[in-house]
Amino acid sequence: MANIIEIMKAHSSVRKFTDEVIPDKKIREFIEAGRAAGNWKNFQSYSVIIVKSIETKNAIYEAHNSISTKAVMSCSHFIVFVGDMNRAEKAVKLNGGDFQPAGVESILISSIDAALAAENVLLAAEADGFGGVMMGLLREKSVEISDILGLPDYTYPLFGIALGVPAKINPVKPRLPYETMVFNEKYVEQDESVIRAYDEVQSDYAGTRRLGSSWSSRIVEQWGKPEERSSTENLKAKKLL
């Protein structure tokens, strides 16, 4: 048990990999560990697509074409998690029901199920000496990624995990202080001093690798402007919104 906790607490995202290829048998083992995660009512409302061909990797990389997606090209396997209500549609029809998947609840169910499974996959890989990084940028090109992966109605790309043999491992990134995220009985709202203090922590951690902006200013890039519409439009096209 202690070893499991140590592995969890030692997590650091790996974006640079060696040329070594993880055996397919290992990949299956990691994914089986992921599929053992809890999920809503055992509906298992997600699917997994294993990408290892250079052609598909290149198509995914070209769709986004950013420095953040370079790990797709260098990793051994890129594991894509898909929110999947397609099987649910068939099950509802099988039982003579009226399929009504559109809405936030369905999206939350499939997204949470996939996230729980993915975390297990990454932990299993790390426990076996491999490394990886979660990549949510796929959602910014949801339509293109859906086309590349042949995703039908009622399915949508959530994120991927680039897995491989680490060429470089960074120190564990500091999290927000426990007391600023974990509360007893009721939520405790805090002031901007928490943000300022954590900006300093992140700046000290980054050192010479500083990104030229603070932690909080990078949040502005996410939530200080209208949302990226690709996921929303794709969800509508896939009849889920």
| Domain assignment of residue 149, yes or no | yes
Mean pLDDT of the chain: 93
Q: Where are the beta strands (DSSP E) in the chain?
A: 46-51, 77-84, 131-135, 155-164
For the segment 189-227, what is each residue's pLDDT rounded down to a tens digit?
999 999 999 999 998 888 656 567 889 998 998 899 988
| Domain assignment of residue 190, yes or no | no
Q: Average pLDDT for residues 3-22, to the nearest whole number?
A: 94
| Domain assignment of residue 57, yes or no | yes
Neighbour count for residue 119 (Cβ, 10 Å): 16
| Domain assignment of residue 78, yes or no | yes
pLDDT of residue 164: 97
For the segment 123-148, what is each residue's pLDDT rounded down to a tens digit?
999 999 999 999 998 999 999 999 99
Residue 8 domain boundaries:
2-172+227-237
For the segment 70-122, what is each residue's pLDDT rounded down to a tens digit?
899 999 999 999 999 999 999 999 999 999 999 999 999 999 999 999 999 99
Task: Give the CA radius of gyration of the chain.
Answer: 19
The number of folded domains in the chain is 1
- Determine if residue 165 is left, alpha or beta; phi over 0 gives left, psi from -120 to 50 gives alpha, anything else beta: beta
Q: Specify the 3-state DSSP secondary structure of 209.
A: helix
Instruction: Tokens 């954590």: give the residue.
Output: 198
What is residue 132's DSSP assignment? E
Q: What does residue 35 show for φ and ψ, rounded to 5 degrees?
A: -70, -15
127: domain CATH number is: 3.40.109.10
Residue 42's nearest CA partner among 98, 121, 117, 100 is: 117
| Domain assignment of residue 90, yes or no | yes
- Spatial separation of the C-alpha atoms in residues 17 and 165, rounded to whole Å: 5
| Domain assignment of residue 191, yes or no | no
CB neighbour list of residue 153: distance below 8 Å, 6 or more residues apart:
86, 89, 238, 239
Q: Give residue 64's pLDDT band: very low, low, confident or very high (50, 70, 90).
A: confident
Q: What is the DSSP string of 74-98?
A: HSSEEEEEEEE-HHHHHHHHHTT--
